[in-house]
């Protein structure tokens, strides 16, 4: 890619084409999206990105089954997940009700667990069929 650690981690340097922050974050989100699509395809599920018209709310990945059941996924380049990181997932849960099968955050962490608000935290390295 022709970039050093400063560009990957901090988004610093001339000639960088960064979307929303550090290049490493964009690469991690791309890997998570590719993984979700690969694992969803055999079951006939589709993977989308969700953003409200005004851009106030955004969910990185929406995995939708044929019966319209939805898994909502945020992708975070951090090990620790905060309430701020899951705010759009909890908002979507309120909008979709039972149609939302589950909500999860894919991270760089080492452990999978469920937060007290019900959102799953899953290391991307543990994602698999």
Domain boundaries, the chain: 5-126
**From CA 62, how far away is CA 76, in angstroms rounded?**
15
Q: What is the pLDDT of residues 37-63, one digit of tens each?
A: 999 999 999 999 999 999 899 999 999
Report whether CATH 3.40.1350.10 matches the domain 5-126.
yes
The pTM of the full predicted model, rounded to 2 decimals, is 0.83
Top pLDDT among 16 and 124 is at: 124
DSSP code string of 71-110 = EEEEE-SSS---TGGGHHHHHHHHHHGGGEEEEEEEES-S
Most distant CA pair in the chain: distance in Å? 47
Q: What is the pLDDT of residue 1?
A: 59
């Amino acid at each position: 890619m022709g970039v050093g650690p400063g560009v990957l981690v901090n988004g610093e340097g001339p000639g960088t084409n960064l979307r929303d922050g550090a290049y490493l974050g964009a690469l991690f989100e791309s890997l998570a999206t590719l993984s979700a699509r690969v694992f969803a395809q055999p079951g006939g599920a589709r993977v989308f990105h969700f953003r409200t018209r005004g851009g106030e709310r955004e969910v990185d990945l929406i995995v939708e089954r044929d019966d319209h059941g939805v898994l909502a996924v945020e992708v975070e380049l951090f090990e620790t997940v905060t309430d701020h990181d899951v705010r759009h997932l909890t908002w979507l849960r309120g909008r979709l009700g039972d149609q939302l099968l589950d909500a999860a955050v894919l991270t760089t962490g080492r452990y999978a667990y469920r937060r007290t608000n019900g959102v799953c935290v899953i290391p991307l390295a543990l994602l698999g069929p």
